[in-house]
Amino acid sequence: MKISSVEDLKKIREKASVLLSPREEGDKQDSSACCGLEKGTAHMQILTCGGTGCKASQSHLIAENFKKLIAEHKLESKLEVITTGCFGFCEKGPIVKIIPDNTFYTQVKPDDVEEIFTEHILGGRRVEKLLYADPKTNKFVSDSKHMDFYRKQVRIALRNCGMIDPENIEEYIARDGYFALASCLLDRKPEAVVEEIKKSGLRGRGGGGFPTGMKWEIAAKNKADEKYVVCNADEGDPGAFMDRSIMEGDPHSIVEAMEICGYATGASNGLVYIRAEYPLAVERLKIAIKQARERGLLGKNVLGTDFSFDIDIRYGAGAFVCGEETALIHSMEGKRGEPTLKPPFPAESGYNGKPTNVNNVETFANIPIIITKGADWFASIGSEKSKGTKVFALAGKINNVGLIEVPMGTTLREVIFDIGGGIKGGKKFKAVQTGGPSGGCLTEKHLDTPIDFDTLTAAGSMMGSGGMIVMDEDNCMVSVARFYLDFIVEESCGKCTPCRIGNKRMYEILDKITAGNGTVEDLNKLKTLAGVIKDTALCGLGQTSPNPVLSTLSNFYDEYLEHVKDKKCRAKECKSLLTYLINPEKCVGCHLCAINCPADAIEGSPRKPHVILFSKCIKCGMCMSRCKFKAISVR
Amino acid sequence: MEHKNISLIIDNHKVVVPEDTTILDAAKSIGINIPTLCHMHLKGTCADNHPASCRVCVVEVKGRRNLAPACSTKCADGMEVKTSSIRVIRARKTVIELMLSDHPNECLSCPKSGKCELQAVTQHLSINETPFSGELSLRKKEMTASIVRNMDKCIYCRRCETMCNVYQSVGALGAVGRGFNTTIAPTFDRMLKDTDCTYCGQCVAVCPVGALTERTYTDQLIDDLENPDKVVIVQVAPAVRVALGEEFGNAPGTIVTGKLVSALKDVGFDYVFDTDFSADATIMEEGSELLDRLSKFLSGDKKVPIPLMTSCCPAWVNFYEHNFPDLLHIPSTARSPQQMFGAIAKTYWAEKMQISRDKLVVVSVMPCVAKKFECQRPEFSTNKNPDVDYSITTRELATLIRRANINFDALPKMEFDNPLGESTGAAAIFGSTGGVLEAALRTAYEIYTKKPLPKIDFEDVRGMDSVRSATIDLNGFALNVAIAYGLGNARKLMEEIRAGKCKYHVIEIMACPGGCIGGGGQPLHHGDFEIIKARQKAIYEEDRNMPIRKSHENSSVIKMYEEFFGKPLSEKAHELLHTHYSDKTIKY
C-alpha cells in the first residue's frame, strides 16, 4: 500500500503498535513477575538478536527452533518470534529477550530453546542458568535495564536496535519512523530543516566532528543541476561496528535521514557507500530501500509531494582510507580510492563534480529523532560543545565487550568500569585506545576526562568513529604503537610522501625497538617523524597516523626507555627482550623442558638442574609452560 | 569573469594577487621560489599536475593547524604565510630525507644526474646525510624500444600519470597497489609493452628523477662510428635544431643548425643529412594524397575517406592503431619523414653512392622517443635490415657531443651534405604544431589552384592553442582544416569522425605539447611551457630565413622524383614512401 499522507502513516503506526508497545513498556516499567502462557499471559513475543555477532553464534537457529516449537504447539496466535538488530551486549550473545516480562537471556544456544519454551514461555518460570549474573553481587538480573552495562546508556542512535524487526517497515513506523520525513516535507522549508540540525549541535560521528548542520548548509547553498547525499558506511576502524549494527538493526533510519538531508540540501540522489564485507547490512539496507520505495516513502514524489529522492548502493572493497570522504567519492566514481586536497570540499565539488553531502551512518541515525523530538531536546543531552550521545565499540581487555551508547561528557571511567565492567581477570588498567588506529592511547590520568570531541583531541587522542580498545598491564605500549602503525602502513593509500614512507620508517623503528635493537636516538627520530607526518600528511589518515606513537611516547616514555636502554619489556610482550631462566634450586632435572624445547636450547644431566642456552633459545616459552615444578621464570 | 585582487603577507612582504592564485605563484611573483617536486603545469594545456602529494612545497599559514602545500593552496585575503620558518624547513628536509630513504641513491651513474629535480632539492636543502633507512619498495624495471622504466627511482609525483591519462588519454600508466609499495605502472603492474602505450615519451619528458628515461642508443652509435666497414649517415629532425642549444646554455629558441652539423661531423658521421629533405618528400606524397582524396570527394565519391589525417607522428600512429582500428583508412598512408628518409637513403641514395645496404647505417636525431619504436617496426625493414637503424634523441646527441669533448659554442657553422640535405621552409616548420598542415597547404594550394600563393604564411593555422581550426579558400572551395596536439584532443576528434560529426577535410595531429618541439626527447623543460613557445618562435624564424619555402620547389626532391620515383603516389613511391596500418587493439 502506498503511503501518501501523514494519516496513512498514523494508521500503520497504530496497527503496528500492538506489537511494539509491550516492548516499549518493558523498557520503561518494571515487572519482576515472569509471564507464561500457562499462567494466563495472552500474548508473548520472543526477540532474538539477528546481528552479525549473534548470527555467528547461530542465533538464526535459535529463532528457527522457537518457530518450530510454536508450530508444533500450534501457538502461532499467541506467540511471535522477532529477529531484531544488535542488543549491544555482544560479550553475552546470543541474546534472547522475552516480552512482556522483559527477560534478557544471555549466551543462548540453539539447544537451550526447548528449555526456554517449556519453562518460561509455557510455564512462566525463568531459566536461571541463562540469566545474566551480576559479577559484583553474583545475583541474577533478568531485566537488562538493571544491568550495569545498560544502566548508564542513553540509546538515541541505537534506539531501534534490539527493539524492532529491521526487515519490517511497519515496526519502524510504529517507532515514529518516517514521521520526521513527513514533517519536513509537509511542514518545513529546507532552510528550516538545516536550521534545526544546526541548532541541535549535532557533529559528524565519523571522526571529524564537523558540525552537521553547517555541512548541510554549505551543500544547500551550492547551486547545481544535480546534488548528492552520500552515506559513509565504510566503517574501517578495527573493532568498531556501530555503523554495521545500525544498518543491520535500523536500516530505515538511514533511508529516512538521507531523504531528510536530500530535502534540506536540494539533492535528489542518495548513495550509500558500504563495505562489501558487510553482507547482512547490505541485505537489510536493500530490503529497507525496497520497502520504502513500495510504500511511496522513497523514489518519485515521496509522500505525494514534489520531493523525489532515491538511493543507490555502492560497494567498497575494504580500504580504510576510503572512509575519508574525498577518497570515498573517488572510489564511488570508479577511480582509485585516494584522497585529494580539500578545498574543494565535497559540498562544492563532490561525486561527479556535483555538490555532495557526506555523512556517516551514526550521524544519519540521529537525524530523524532530532526532527521528531526537536533540536532543543537533543542539545540538552551531552556536553557543552558536543551534543547528544556517542556509540562506542568496547573491546580489548574489558569484561563487557559490546556496543554502547552514552551521552557525550560521560567519563572514560564510567564507560570502562561501570558499563564495561572493568578489566578482565582483575588485572590492572593500563590504557585505552580511542579513535581507531589513528587515535591515541589514554591512561589512568585521563580516566576522569569527560568524553567528547574536544577533550579527546586535547588529551592527544580523538573521537574517531568510536572504537575503544582497553589494555591492561600485560600490554606493551611499544608493541601497541607498532601494531597500529602496521595497520596504517598497510592501509596508507601511498599518495603522499610522509604517510607512504614516513609511517613505514616509524614502523621499522618501532619494530627495531621491540626486537631489542633500539637506541635512544631512535626515540628522537620517532618524535621527529611523528611530528612531521602530523604536520605534512595530505589527508586525515596520514595526519592522525602518528597519534599512537605520539601518545604512547608522551604517556609511556619510561617504557620506551626501558626497551632501548635496559632492553626490558615490562609487559613481557616483546619476545626478543625476554630471558628464560631455570632456577637450579627448584629444578629436579626431570628433563621435560628439554624434551619439549623446539630449539634444543636446554641442556642438563638427569636429576641435575638444567640450563637454558641463551644463544639457542627462541623464547617460545614452551619450557616454562611444561615445567611442573615452577622452576622456570621469565625476566 | 573579472578577477578580484586580494592581498596577503608572505614572509613579511605584502603581496597583491588575483583571487585563485596559489601561494606558490604568489610567492614567485615576489621572487620567493618555494621548492616543488610533484607540481607541474604546462600553462595553457591540460597538463596540470598538482596532486599536492610530495609535500616539499609546504608552508606555514597563520591559524592553520598543519602545514599547507603551496602548490595547491589558494591565497586568501589577509593570509599570513611563512615559506621558510624552522618548522617549514624541518618538514621539507624530513620529507626529502624520507624520499632518499626509499631511493637507490645511485646518483653518480644515473642518467638524470645533474638534471634530477630530487637531486636539486636535496642540494637546495643541503641534505648531507640520510638519517632514515629501511626496506626499499620493490618495483619493476623494464626496457622497451623507446622507454626505460626504473621504478625504484620513482618518487611518486605522478606527473607521468597526468601526461599519460589527462593529457594523452592513453591510460597506460597509473597508480597500482597501495601504501609503501605503491607504484606507477600499467594496470595490474603489467609491462608497458603489453599496453596501449604509444611511446610518446611525455612521461619521460616530465619525470623529475631517473625513473622514466629514454632507451639510449649512443653506445651502439659510437661502436658503429668506430667501425671502418660502416658508412654511418645521420638525419636531423627540424625540432632538434631549435632546442639543442639549451643543453649548452643557450637561451630557449636559439637556432643552432650550423653548429649542429659541425658537431655531427666532428663526432664522425660520414654524411650529415637533413630530415627536412624527406619532410619535403612527405609533403609531395601526403599533399598529393590529399588532392587525390579531395578531387574524388568533390566529384561525389562517398567512399573516399575524409578527413585526411597526418601520419608523421609515430605516437599518434600507435594511438590510432590501438584505439581506433575501425578508422585506419582515415590517416594518410604516407610514412613519416624519418622513415621516408631511411627508405630513400637505403635505396635511391645508396644506389647512387654504390653503398650496399648492409654497410650503410642510418641514424636519426629526433626530438622524440616514439621514433625509436617506429624505426623498429617490421614493415620498415628489408631482409631484417631496418631503413633507419636507430634513433637518438636531442638529449642523447647533447650527451654524445659532451662525451666527445666538443666545445659546442666554439663550433663553426656548417651546411648539411647534399642531396639529402636540401630543404625548404615548409619542412622546417614540421617541428611545430600546425607546421605539417601549413606545409601541405602551401603545396596543395598551388597545385590545386594552379596559382602562386598570395601569402606563404598561413597565420590562421599557427599558434599554441591545443585545438585550432581554419577555413582555407581553394578556388572557391572552403577547405576546413583542424590542428590538434595532445592525443586526448585527437581522441575527441576521432570520436567525432566515428560519430559522423566531423566537418573537417584535413586534420593534423601531433602528440606532444606544441608538437615535436615539445617532444619526449627534447631538452627537459621542467614544466616551463614558455621554453616550448620559444622553440616555436625559432621554428618560424628558421622558415622565414629559408630561400625556398614550398616543398614542391625543393630541387633535390624534384630531381629525386625524376631520377627514381617518377611522380608522387607512383608504384615505387607507394612501395617505399607509404605504409599500411593494422589493428593493434589490446585485449585485457
Is B268 part of any domain?
A: yes
Probe site for chain B from A342, A454, A491, A500 (most B CB atoms < 10 A): A500
Q: A495 and B51 in contact by Cβ < 8 A?
A: yes
Is A586 part of any domain?
A: yes
With cell 595526519, the residue in question is A543
Q: Do residues B334 and B207 lie in contact, with contact meaning Cβ atoms separated by under 8 Å?
A: no
- Closest B-chain CA to A544: B66
| Residues in chain A, overall count | 635
Strands A467-472 vs A429-434: parallel, antiparallel or unpaired? antiparallel
- Closest A-chain CA to B156: A495
Q: How many CB pairs under 8 A join A and B?
A: 107
Residues of A in contact with B72 (CB under 8 A): 341
Is A608 part of any domain?
A: yes
Alpha-carbon gap, residue A324 to A322, rounded angstroms: 5
A80/A216 same-domain check:
no
Would you state the pLDDT for residue A464?
Answer: 85
SS3 A12: helix
List Cβ neighbours of B145 (8 Å cut-off, separation of 6 or more): B199, B215, B372, B373, B376
Which CATH number is A525's domain given?
1.20.1440.230
- Identity at A413, one-letter amino acid code: R
Whether residue B53 lies within 8 A of chain A, CB to CB, comes out as yes
A47/A143 same-domain check:
yes
B454/B545 same-domain check:
yes
List Cβ neighbours of A283 (8 Å cut-off, separation of 6 or more): none
List Cβ neighbours of A358 (8 Å cut-off, separation of 6 or more): A230, A231, A232, A325, A328, A329, A346, A350
Nearest CB among B66, B74, B178 relative to A493 is that of B178
A278/A358 same-domain check:
yes
Alpha-carbon gap, residue B161 to B49, rounded angstroms: 9
B468/B522 same-domain check:
yes
With cell 594577487, the residue in question is B17
Residue A286 in this model has a pLDDT that exceeds 60? yes
Residue B494, min C-alpha distance to chain A (Å) = 25
Residue A527, C-alpha cell as written in the block: 618524535
Q: A535 and B67 in contact by Cβ < 8 A?
A: yes
Neighbours of B114 (CB within 10 A): 9
List Cβ neighbours of A627 (8 Å cut-off, separation of 6 or more): A592, A593
Q: B72 and A341 in contact by Cβ < 8 A?
A: yes
B299/B329 same-domain check:
yes
Output DSSP code: residue B169. Answer: -
Cα-Cα-Cα-Cα torsion A515, A518, A522, A523, nearest 10 degrees, comes to 90
- Window 461-480 of B: residues touching A by CB (8 A cutoff) are none
Residue B13, C-alpha cell as written in the block: 612582504
Q: A341 and B52 in contact by Cβ < 8 A?
A: yes
Which CATH number is B248's domain given?
3.40.50.1780
A31 pLDDT tier (thresholds 50, 70, 90): low
Whether residue A513 lies within 8 A of chain B, CB to CB, comes out as no
- Window 603-632 of A: residues touching B by CB (8 A cutoff) are none
Residues of A in contact with B99 (CB under 8 A): 497, 501
Residue B540, C-alpha cell as written in the block: 618560424
- pLDDT > 90: percent of chain A: 84
Residues of A in contact with B182 (CB under 8 A): 493-495, 500
Alpha-carbon gap, residue A79 to A82, rounded angstroms: 10
For residue B70, the surrounding DSSP H or E stretch is none
Query: Hey, what long-range contacts does B162-165 have (CB within 8 A, 24 or more apart)?
Result: B162/B40, B162/B47, B162/B48, B162/B49, B162/B206, B163/B47, B163/B49, B163/B202, B163/B203, B163/B205, B163/B206, B164/B197, B164/B202, B164/B203
Nearest CB among B52, B91, B155 relative to A538 is that of B52
Alpha-carbon gap, residue A409 to A415, rounded angstroms: 11
Would you state the pLDDT for residue B6?
Answer: 95
Residues of B in contact with A492 (CB under 8 A): 178-180
A549/A586 same-domain check:
no
Whether residue B98 lies within 8 A of chain A, CB to CB, comes out as yes
What does the pLDDT average to over A252-258?
98
Is A573 part of any domain?
A: no
**How far is CA B274 from its chain centroid?**
18
Strands A611-612 vs A79-84: parallel, antiparallel or unpaired? unpaired
Q: Do residues B441 and B461 lie in contact, with contact meaning Cβ atoms separated by under 8 Å?
A: yes
ipTM field: 0.94
Strands A389-396 vs A356-360: parallel, antiparallel or unpaired? unpaired
| The total number of structural domains that make up chain A | 5
pTM score over 0.90: yes
B543/B404 same-domain check:
no
Domain that holds residue A514: 477-566
Q: Do residues A477 and A445 lie in contact, with contact meaning Cβ atoms separated by under 8 Å?
A: no
Active-site residue numbers of B?
A: 286, 289, 312, 332, 371, 374, 379, 516
β partners of residue A81 = A46
Q: Which of these three, A540, A566, A592, is where a domain ends?
A: A566
A371/A395 same-domain check:
no
Residues of A in contact with B178 (CB under 8 A): 319, 321, 491-494
B254/B294 same-domain check:
no
B344/B464 same-domain check:
no
A2 pLDDT tier (thresholds 50, 70, 90): confident
List Cβ neighbours of A433 (8 Å cut-off, separation of 6 or more): A396, A439, A440, A441, A442, A461, A467, A468, A469, A471, A480, A484, A548
Which CATH number is A60's domain given?
3.40.30.10
Alpha-carbon gap, residue A500 to B156, rounded angstroms: 10
Over chain B (588 residues), what is each successive 10-residue block's mean pLDDT? 85 95 96 96 92 96 96 96 97 97 94 96 95 91 96 96 97 94 93 95 97 96 96 98 98 98 97 98 96 93 93 98 97 97 98 96 98 97 96 97 96 96 97 97 94 94 96 93 97 96 96 98 96 98 96 97 96 97 91
Alpha-carbon gap, residue A531 to A542, rounded angstroms: 11
Residues of A in contact with B73 (CB under 8 A): 341
Probe site for chain A from B20, B55, B85, B161 (most A CB atoms < 10 A): B55
Q: Do residues B536 and B511 lie in contact, with contact meaning Cβ atoms separated by under 8 Å?
A: no
Is A223 part of any domain?
A: yes
Q: A505 and B51 in contact by Cβ < 8 A?
A: no
Residues of B in contact with A534 (CB under 8 A): 66
A328-360 pLDDT per residue, tens: 999 999 999 999 988 899 999 999 999 999 999
Say if residue B378 is preceded by a cis peptide, omega within 30 of 0.
no
Q: A528 and B94 in contact by Cβ < 8 A?
A: yes
A21/A77 same-domain check:
yes
Nearest CB among B53, B131, B177 relative to A497 is that of B53
| The total number of structural domains that make up chain B | 3
Is B122 part of any domain?
A: no
Query: Hey, what long-range contacts does A2-9 have (CB within 8 A, 24 or more apart)?
Result: A2/A294, A2/A295, A2/A296, A3/A178, A3/A295, A3/A296, A3/A297, A3/A303, A4/A296, A4/A303, A4/A304, A5/A303, A5/A304, A6/A179, A6/A182, A6/A186, A6/A303, A9/A173, A9/A178, A9/A179, A9/A182
A370/A231 same-domain check:
yes
Is B148 part of any domain?
A: no
A205/A332 same-domain check:
yes
Probe site for chain A from B94, B184, B209 (most A CB atoms < 10 A): B94
Whether residue B574 lies within 8 A of chain A, CB to CB, comes out as no
Q: Which of these three, B84, B107, B124, is where a domain ends?
A: B84
Residue B72, min C-alpha distance to chain A (Å) = 8
Residues of B in contact with A319 (CB under 8 A): 178
SS3 B384: coil
Whether residue B559 lies within 8 A of chain A, CB to CB, comes out as no
Q: Where does B42-116 have alpha helices with state H?
A: 86-101
Q: B134 and A336 in contact by Cβ < 8 A?
A: no
List Cβ neighbours of B351 (8 Å cut-off, separation of 6 or more): none
Neighbours of B181 (CB within 10 A): 16
Q: A494 and B182 in contact by Cβ < 8 A?
A: yes
Which CATH number is A599's domain given?
3.30.70.20
A405/A424 same-domain check:
yes
B331/B350 same-domain check:
no
A125/A254 same-domain check:
no
Cα-Cα-Cα-Cα torsion B293, B298, B303, B308, nearest 10 degrees, comes to 40
Q: Which of these three, B361, B385, B410, is where a domain ends?
A: B410
Q: Which of these three, B353, B383, B410, is where a domain ends?
A: B410
Is B308 part of any domain?
A: yes
Nearest CB among A493, A496, A505 relative to B134 is that of A505
Residue A389 in this model has a pLDDT that exceeds 90? yes
B266/B355 same-domain check:
yes
A439 pLDDT tier (thresholds 50, 70, 90): confident
A125-173 pLDDT per residue, tens: 999 999 999 888 889 999 998 899 999 999 999 999 999 999 999 999 9
For residue A123, the surrounding DSSP H or E stretch is none
Alpha-carbon gap, residue B522 to B530, rounded angstroms: 14
B376/B488 same-domain check:
no
Q: Which of these three, A450, A472, A494, is where a domain ends?
A: A472
Would you state the pLDDT for residue A331?
Answer: 95
Q: B175 and A319 in contact by Cβ < 8 A?
A: no
Residues of A in contact with B66 (CB under 8 A): 534-537, 543
Is B14 part of any domain?
A: yes
B297/B273 same-domain check:
no
- Measure CA of the first residue to CA of the last residue in chain A; give whole Å: 72
Nearest CB among B51, B87, B98 relative to A498 is that of B98
Residue B490, min C-alpha distance to chain A (Å) = 23
In angstroms, the Cα distances linking A532 to A79, A500, A544, B11, B88 are: 63, 13, 11, 21, 9
What does the pLDDT average to over A382-400?
94
Whether residue B131 lies within 8 A of chain A, CB to CB, comes out as yes
Alpha-carbon gap, residue B144 to B494, rounded angstroms: 27
Nearest CB among B54, B66, B87 relative to A543 is that of B66
What does the pLDDT average to over A467-480?
94
More confident residue, A240 or B518: B518
Would you state the pLDDT for residue B2?
Answer: 60
Q: B74 and A504 in contact by Cβ < 8 A?
A: no
Is A123 part of any domain?
A: yes
Residue A254, min C-alpha distance to chain B (Å) = 31
Q: A504 and B177 in contact by Cβ < 8 A?
A: no
Whether residue B67 lies within 8 A of chain A, CB to CB, comes out as yes
Q: What angle do CA B55, B59, B63 make, to 5 degrees?
A: 125
Alpha-carbon gap, residue B457 to B131, rounded angstroms: 60
Is B503 part of any domain?
A: yes
Say if residue A279 is preceded by a cis peptide, omega within 30 of 0.
no
What does the pLDDT average to over A557-569?
95
Is B212 part of any domain?
A: no
Whether residue B58 lies within 8 A of chain A, CB to CB, comes out as yes
- Measure CA of the first residue to CA of the last residue in chain B; give whole Å: 45
- Closest B-chain CA to A336: B175
Alpha-carbon gap, residue B19 to B6, rounded angstroms: 6
For residue B370, the surrounding DSSP H or E stretch is helix B370-374
Residue B462, min C-alpha distance to chain A (Å) = 34
Q: A529 and B94 in contact by Cβ < 8 A?
A: yes
Residues of A in contact with B56 (CB under 8 A): 497
A458/A524 same-domain check:
no
Is B184 part of any domain?
A: no
Is A489 part of any domain?
A: yes
With cell 594496470, the residue in question is B187
Is A167 part of any domain?
A: no
Domain that holds residue B450: 286-335+423-577
Q: Do residues B414 and B554 lie in contact, with contact meaning Cβ atoms separated by under 8 Å?
A: no
- Closest B-chain CA to A503: B180
A241/A205 same-domain check:
yes
Nearest CB among B55, B90, B180 relative to A504 is that of B180
Mean pLDDT, chain A, rounded, equals 93
